[in-house]
Amino acid sequence: MEKKILVAVDGSPYSLNSIDYLALLFKDDLSINLHLHAVVSEAGTGQNWMYEVDPLREHAPLTERRRITAEKFLRDARARLVRNGFAENRVTLAAEVSHVQAAPSIHREASRGIYDAMVIGRRGMGKVGELFVGSVSAFLIDRCHDVPLWIIDGEVTSSRFLLAVHSTPQSLLAADHLAYIAGSHPESEVFLYHSNVLFGSEVPAAPVEFHEIWGQEWCDQYLDLDNYLFYAHAQLLKEHGVAPNRITQLNMERNLNVSRDLIKQAKKHDCGTIVIGRRPREAAKSLFGGVSDRALSQAQNLALWLVG
């Protein structure tokens, strides 16, 4: 089955890190297709008066120069993918001129319902840095819940995955997404890990909460709620083609900071990507819901997949 990934491109080194990451993971996976998307925003340029003077004018001169530059960035990104072994016919390009800011435009494109995931590179400066640079990634992390979001921080050199395991539907959805994407790659390696909180404990979701997506019969057979769904996560991976000998259940460790523990385990086991299920944006923050936020602020040279 073909999968289509939206990739935000702006010509920055952070954007190129995401291009290198995709080549590392998927250059040999013929089911993965990439759409490289650049946004040229006219918001705040002060040149809208030109359309009143000349209604036939397509873009202001400054916007047109930026569009030409954006198209060059896109071609350069595609060439970089091809140099790293990615087939050119699996990559499409588009430079969009938008009357709104770049972040809402990218979100609108991601929400069209034709993409299996969206990829963005980020500056890697954490929450404080984002306050000063007005990060596009911060906007998308907050708003983009309708398509899985892959955030690439720095240079990622490993194709292994660390899957955060919890007794919630959101966690199992993250496993389902990872299984769907990685199942067609015979070399995929996945490490399942549950981070035990030193103070307080996770309350498992009720079995009925899983029925709508996976069905009662499947849930009756595979849900191991008292075991943090280790078995159910592994089952989803195997059903999508991940070889059993490439799925490893790691021993749980007790800790005070779940997000820091996930990053530590990823580094310890040479995983370049951490996959986390998260609650919908309208849901109240909880221990589980805050893990992805803290992991994003602490991650360096890692990719984080946020699902939900």
From 83-92, 105-114, 218-227, 249-258, the region with the lowest mean pLDDT: 249-258
Alpha helices in the chain (DSSP H): 13-26, 49-53, 61-83, 102-110, 126-133, 136-143, 169-182, 208-214, 216-222, 230-239, 258-268, 287-298
Q: Which pLDDT band holds residue 285 (cuts at 50, 70, 90)?
A: low
pLDDT at 54 over 80: no
Which 3-state string (H, E, C) describes 66-94?
HHHHHHHHHHHHHHHHHHCCCCHHHEEEE
Residue 211 is classified by DSSP as H
Domain 161-307, CATH number (from 3.30.70.20, 3.40.50.150, 1.10.260.40, 3.40.50.620): 3.40.50.620
Side-chain half-sphere CA neighbours of 303 within 13 A: 34
Q: What is the pLDDT of residues 129-162, one digit of tens each?
A: 333 334 677 788 888 888 999 999 999 999 999 9
Range(s) of the chain covered by CATH 3.40.50.620: 3-153, 161-307
The whole-number pLDDT of residue 308 equals 84
Pairwise CA distance, residues 159 & 146, whole Å:
25
Pairwise CA distance, residues 248 & 250, whole Å:
6
Highest mean pLDDT among 95-109, 152-166, 269-283, 291-305: 152-166
Residue 167 is classified by DSSP as S
Domain spanning 3-153: CATH superfamily: HUPs (3.40.50.620)
Residue 41 is classified by DSSP as E
